[in-house]
Structure 1
Amino acid sequence: MHVLEKAKKPLNALKDSVVDVNAVNFWLQKFNPLWSGNQALGKIVQKENAANEMVSLTIQVNRLFKIGEAGQHHPVFARVNGIRYERTYSLTQLDDQHVLLSVKKVNTGIVSTWLVEQAQVGDILEFGQPFGDMTLVSNSTPLLLLAAGSGITPMLSLLKAMSKTKQIAEQPIQLMYWVKYHDDAAFKLRFEALANQYPNFKFQIFFTQEDVAEPRLNAAHAAQINNIEHSTVFACGPSGFVTQAEALFDHAQCFMSEAFSMSPIATDEIGFVNVTLTQSNKTISIPKGQSILASLEQQNIKPNHGCRMGICNKCACNKVEGSTKNMVNGSQNTEPGNLLKICVNSAQSDLVIDL
């Protein structure tokens, strides 16, 4: 009987390890760091400089990785000093097993700094499901791509996809790209190669802080574009850039945009408001003019969130009542019962939200 019990123990241990997905992953990754029962993983196989304080990482992905449509974003999970962080980046598909992740270092950015300065070939990253609506449309109208800073990365993804399907050979495409200095311009050689190969692809790069500074996006740039009423416009960059693009090209046949950071909006808001959280039965005081998400985190309340850009909707909740301001475009909302993205909205009055 004693022998029989001892024989059962290894079987029970095996059964427990099969049930415990974390244990399965642990043992699989002893053989191959990309093997997993449930994780979309990628291994850095090449790292190269793309521009000043910007790197491009070629990543080999496993069978569980799902590439999004060109122009979409992916949650990327990285461990820095033992802590798991989630950030959002646009990826470019290179082939069935490889994607390109391009990252610009952000001041005080924990993950971007680690990826640019410390990440090495062989390091493993985890990926979430892709999201975002700035994807290719199935028409042959002229296409205008507007990018500022690291907003160029989804544009590269779009152009790569159009090259693969030969759409780039059939559709007039113009790329206008703003950076501070010459050293900040990423993928310039790639764009030159596309322009040499496809006569209908044109691109311009504007340098806004060189000794001879070129102007930021303005009405003069919009005046260069012919037939905008029958064109599709994509814009990606800081929120101020995207807001300006929307104002200049609101009469385009189709306009799609994504802002990857919030530009400061002039405000004289001071003071605090009360926020009632219906699910946790709490009422707290938070400052006006600051994102609701950041304010909650400062009080050790950890709502679900992802991109912090108002794109992925992980932080969205129902606003029962109260007034809020969108920190990307400055619009205010006083209507009850609306979906509220707490990462890009600040409180203007006392709020009741379903958190």
Structure 2
Amino acid sequence: MANGYRPEIVQRAFVDFIGSRLHPFWSLMTPKLRLIARYTLSDDLIALRFETNRAFRQQTSELMGGWQGGQYLDLRVCIDGVYHQRSYSIVGLDHQPLWWLDDATERHTADQRHTVTIAIKPQGLVSNHLTKQMPLASVVDTSLPLGHFTLEQTSIAAQNTSNDNKPTPLLFIAGGSGITPMLGLINQALSNGHQVTLLHYSRTVSSKLQHQWQQLSDAYPDFIYHLIHTEDPTTYLAGERYLSAEGLLSLNLPLVDTKIFACGSQALLAGLYKTVNEISVLQNIQLRDNIIVENFGNALTDFDGDGNQLLDNALQTESHTVYLRSRQRQFDSDTTLLVAAENAGIRLAHGCRQGICQLCRCNKVSGVVKNIQTGKVSGDGYESIQTCINIAITDVVLDV
């Protein structure tokens, strides 16, 4: 049996079970994080720094070679005996010092302790718990770094397209807390030699983030940033409070060759697509395929949380009836199925609320729905859908 099956005398799962009873941070197989610090990035953004356990470090290194800028973690948090799962953006890159740590000793300690930092907007049950209530040294289960909002996944990290062999120019457009996945992504893009331009639309002013961008601007001549505070006309781009064709053209970028990374509310993304369509018609060029999107939120309102007007009427929908067959409940919906159910006092399974984690997926028995991320309209029959990113186009029956 030299080359045959060799059963484990002691199962790793059993060792994990015993180890977790001795110390909740120990695990051979389960990635875990231990909270060691909190930092305020802005009025509505908190950074949480975690120490990673051996399973997290080993699996991240062996399977992924470290994480990429723009990725996120799914955290599994226990609150009052109930487990909740939420997705949060990773700040920075693997083995990168945190820019807001001014003390050299603390920087060194942070590097040596194998840490990962996430950014959270303190709203909702889980986010409020993590940012305000969970004690330091608390342990949570986590996924490995996830997500395709990265340079590597879009095959442009090393792509040379211009005649002088310079990497592809990149434009980053963020609204509010949509800046969080871009913090590491921009650092990575600059270190790879890309020309980078940042537009950040927000109602708040963060001295820490301003300091971060100024540091990068001083270090990289090819980095230009515009912080547009929606309540301060002196910061507007081309005199426009919101994203516009005039503002985008004023950047003097080679738009045909520029990849656009965008993260923000549905209103911000709708405004971006409208702006790109106007420029495409004006200059007879095709820009829509240059856009790479990561979004958050799901409310289809006239204005988003950052005061941006909803520019695309296609996101509006009439009210339709949604029937939950198993529960024998029904409700009216003029927004996403998940939000409409919650507005009616009905709790549906969900996780990230962004169409990423798949925890809200269920079976549609009949009716037509539209995916607000892709614009795809479903058929009228039985199929699997996600309630957090679909709106009802007709009356809908769900197998819930």
Q: Matched residues in 1 for 2:383 and 2:249: separation?
A: 37
Give the structure 1 partner of residue 255 of structure 2.
228
Say if 1:231 and 1:17 are closer, same or farther in 2 by CA, change over 3 A. closer
Given the alignment, which residue of 133, 145, 149 partners 1:134?
Answer: 149
Q: Matched residues in 2 for 1:329 and 1:19: separation?
A: 40
SS of match in other structure, 1:206: strand
Say if 1:249 and 1:124 are closer, same or farther in 2 by CA, change over 3 A. farther
- The aligned runs of 1:302-313 (5 Å cut-off) are 302-303=348-349, 305-313=350-358
- Kept after mapping to 2: 8 A contact 1:324/1:333: yes
Instruction: Provide Cα deviations, 1:304-332, integer angstroms capped at 9, x if missing partner.
Output: x4211112334335545421133557764
- Kept after mapping to 2: 8 A contact 1:325/1:347: yes
Say if 1:283 and 1:347 are closer, same or farther in 2 by CA, change over 3 A. farther
Instruction: Provide Cα deviations, 1:93-114, integer angstroms capped at 9, x if missing partner.
Output: 34282211111222xx112222
- The answer to which of 339-348 and 318-327 deviates more is 318-327
How many angstroms does 1:243 deviate by?
A: 2.0
- The answer to which of 133-142 and 16-25 deviates more is 16-25
Q: Matched residues in 2 for 1:201 and 1:270: separation?
A: 45
Given the alignment, which residue of 235, 254, 261 partners 2:297?
Answer: 261
- Kept after mapping to 2: 8 A contact 1:249/1:255: no
Given the alignment, which residue of 34, 40, 57 partners 2:31?
Answer: 40
How many angstroms does 1:259 deviate by?
A: 1.4
- The aligned runs of 1:103-182 (5 Å cut-off) are 103-106=120-123, 109-136=124-151, 137-138=155-156, 139=159, 140-162=167-189, 166-167=191-192, 170-182=193-205
Give the structure 2 partner of residue 195 of structure 1.
217
Give the structure 1 partner of residue 389 of structure 2.
344
Give the structure 1 partner of residue 84 of structure 2.
85
Q: Matched residues in 2 for 1:337 and 1:132: separation?
A: 28
Give the letter for the 1:260 counterpart.
F
Q: Matched residues in 2 for 1:212 and 1:192: separation?
A: 18
Give the structure 2 partner of residue 98 of structure 1.
115
How many angstroms does 1:121 deviate by?
A: 3.0
Q: What are structure 2's unaligned runs of at least 5 residues?
A: 1-8, 61-65, 96-110, 160-166, 278-285, 303-315
SS of match in other structure, 2:221: coil
RMSD: 3.2
SS of match in other structure, 1:182: coil
Identity %: 25
How many angstroms does 1:224 deviate by?
A: 2.0
How many angstroms does 1:268 deviate by?
A: 6.8
How many angstroms does 1:141 deviate by?
A: 1.1
SS of match in other structure, 1:134: coil
Give the letter for the 1:259 counterpart.
N
Say if 1:337 and 1:258 are closer, same or farther in 2 by CA, change over 3 A. farther
Q: Matched residues in 1 for 2:175 and 2:208: separation?
A: 11
SS of match in other structure, 2:54: coil
Q: Matched residues in 2 for 1:275 and 1:38: separation?
A: 38
Q: Matched residues in 1 for 2:235 and 2:215: separation?
A: 26
Say if 1:69 and 1:131 are closer, same or farther in 2 by CA, change over 3 A. same
Structure number with higher strand proportion: 1
Say if 1:211 and 1:175 are closer, same or farther in 2 by CA, change over 3 A. closer
Give the letter for the 1:197 counterpart.
A
